[in-house]
Structure formats: C-alpha cells, structure tokens
Amino acid sequence: MSDTVLATRGLGMSFGGLRVFAGIDFALARGERHAVIGPNGAGKSTFVAIVTGLLRPTAGAVLLDGHDVTRSSAGERVAAGIVRTFQINTLFPSLTPLESVVLALCQRDKQARPSLRALRRCTAQIDEAADLLERFGLADDAQLPTQELAYGQQRLLEVVLAYALRPRVLLLDEPAAGLSTTQGHALFERLAQLTEGTTLLFIEHDMNIVFRYAQRVTVLAGGSLLAQGTPDEIRAHAGVRKAYLGN
C-alpha cells in the first residue's frame, strides 16, 4: 500500500527453542499514531527491537517504504528514518538539554561530533535546539544538568532527542513508564499536538492512554498478532478481551 511506511511480512523470532512470536504481518500507515499492546511476555519490546535493527529476526522481513531493511544495522535504520526511545532512561545526566539536543542535531546533519567546548560554534544547531526545547516546554530548564530535571521532563527530553532526527517513524517504548496517570496523559497530550503528522508507533500498558491517543492498535498475544484495528474495534474484539483486557 502506498500509504504504508513500515511493514513486516511473516516476521518470526526465536531464541534457541523458545519461540517469541511467528507470522507477524504488520502495517503502519504514514502519519498515524499506532499502539502495540499485549500481556507481559508477548514480544512487544522484541518486535520493536527487530524493527529498529537491534535484533535480527529468525524469519520474515521488515520493510520501510517498501524497501527491505531486514539486514540493515540499527545505525543504518536511524539514518533511513526509524528512530526510537527506550523504556529505561538513556540520557546523559551531566549534559544540559541544550547540549544533548545540539549533539543529536550534529549527528543528524552528519557533522563530526564536536567536543562540548566546540558546541558554541554550532550556531545553526543551537538555534534549532532552542526552538525544539521551546516547543516541547523545556526552554526554561535548557541550561540545567539533565539529572536535575523532573523525571517527566527527562522522558520528554528523550522524545525531543528522537524527534530532532526528523524520523520517518518515531518509536516510543513505554514513554509514560514511571509517570503518574496524570503525568502520562499530560505527556501524550503534548506528544499528540507536537508530533502531528509524524508517524508514531508506541508501546504502552495504560489502556486509557492507548484508547485515547492511538488511532490504530496492534495486539500481540500467544506468539502471534491477535488483532489490529481502531480502538473501538480492539475494545469489541472478543479474543482481545479474553487474552488481555480481562473481560
């Protein structure tokens, strides 16, 4: 399909004799917000790791805009436009948000990674980083060490760093992990506004967040893709209610 930016065909993954999943046919439409859900152990993080090149599947293919990227490295996929955040915070605690974003922009622009002392010469990247931090509500804390930011701000900074790379597909691995319900909804409210038009794929356990912010949902369970559809279709799916939603 011309509007499909990311797809998998017959995707399977096993670790020795342990089969995580098999036969996953997945499609992500350009510009949509798409959630991947499922019980613990369903293979959600493994699926994202395969899509982003951190793991190589034991079967099947990963396609980006119709091109097979199954054997492409994680770095090659970032360059091609598949960018992710992680469930566990991966920031540099001693750097400021401004320094971190400028470094990310220099990577995107294929500049030799400057030393922190030389960052002040990266004027175009500094201006763009300041604009991004303003848009995401982090401008007031742009000069603080990242370790001094509130946890919710750190999660938001991770998204800024990924978004700065101008991804064709932005993958978020449980971005609301560690946040209160109110904080999680506030984060997704901001993401929905600021990433409008960006193809967004996210893993999330909070079904209130999933059903409020996802336009489509994929359910992994029992080693296979159980269902894929709109939030209303997933709510009404008898197999999903039995396997995951508990009703």
Confidence of residue 180 (pLDDT cuts 50, 70, 90): confident
Which tens digits make up the pLDDT trace of 157-178?
Answer: 988 888 888 889 999 888 888 7
Which tens digits make up the pLDDT trace of 185-204?
Answer: 888 888 877 777 789 999 98
Question: Rounded mean pLDDT of 205-211?
Answer: 89
Residue 30 lies in a domain: yes
Domain containing 7 equals 1-81+168-182+200-247
Q: Are residues 176 and 55 in the same domain?
A: yes
* pLDDT over threshold 70, residue 88: no
Q: Are residues 161 and 91 in the same domain?
A: yes
Q: Are residues 75 and 146 in the same domain?
A: no
**C-alpha to C-alpha distance for 57 and 50, rounded to whole angstroms:** 6
Q: Are residues 41 and 150 in the same domain?
A: no
Query: Poorest-confidence range of 32-36, 113-117, 159-163?
Result: 113-117
Q: Which of 235, 221, 126 is nearest to 245 (CA)?
A: 235
CA 13 vs CA 19, 58, 129, 201, 247: distances in Å: 6, 5, 38, 20, 29
* pLDDT over threshold 80, residue 237: yes
**Coil/strand/helix, residue 157:** helix
The H-assigned helical ranges of the chain are 44-51, 74-80, 97-108, 123-135, 151-163, 181-194, 207-213, 231-236, 238-240
* pLDDT over threshold 70, residue 87: no
Residue 188 lies in a domain: no
Average per-residue pLDDT for the chain: 87
At 51 the pLDDT is 95
Confidence of residue 1 (pLDDT cuts 50, 70, 90): very low
Q: Are residues 101 and 35 in the same domain?
A: no
**C-alpha to C-alpha distance for 192 and 128, rounded to whole angstroms:** 21
Phi, psi (deg, nearest 5) at residue 202: -140, 150
CA atoms within 13 A of residue 18's CA, in its CB half-sphere: 6
Instruction: Name residue, tokens 């990310």.
Output: 104
- DSSP single-letter state for residue 153: H
At 122 the pLDDT is 81
More confident residue, 194 or 246: 194
Q: Are residues 172 and 154 in the same domain?
A: no
**Coil/strand/helix, residue 173:** strand
Question: Rounded mean pLDDT of 206-224?
Answer: 91
**C-alpha to C-alpha distance for 151 and 153, rounded to whole angstroms:** 5
**C-alpha to C-alpha distance for 73 and 171, rounded to whole angstroms:** 16
Q: Are residues 229 and 107 in the same domain?
A: no
Which tens digits make up the pLDDT trace of 17-30?
Answer: 899 999 999 999 99
Q: Are residues 21 and 68 in the same domain?
A: yes
Confidence of residue 115 (pLDDT cuts 50, 70, 90): low
Residue 191 lies in a domain: no
At 77 the pLDDT is 92
Inter-residue contact 53 to 73 (CB < 8 Å) = yes
Phi, psi (deg, nearest 5) at residue 89: -50, 130
Residue 137 lies in a domain: yes
At 246 the pLDDT is 61
- What is the CATH classification number for the domain harbouring 206? 3.40.50.300
Instruction: Write down which residue in 115, 140, 166 finishes a domain.
Output: 166
Q: Are residues 77 and 116 in the same domain?
A: no
Residue 192 lies in a domain: no
Number of structural domains found in the chain: 2
Q: Are residues 28 and 10 in the same domain?
A: yes
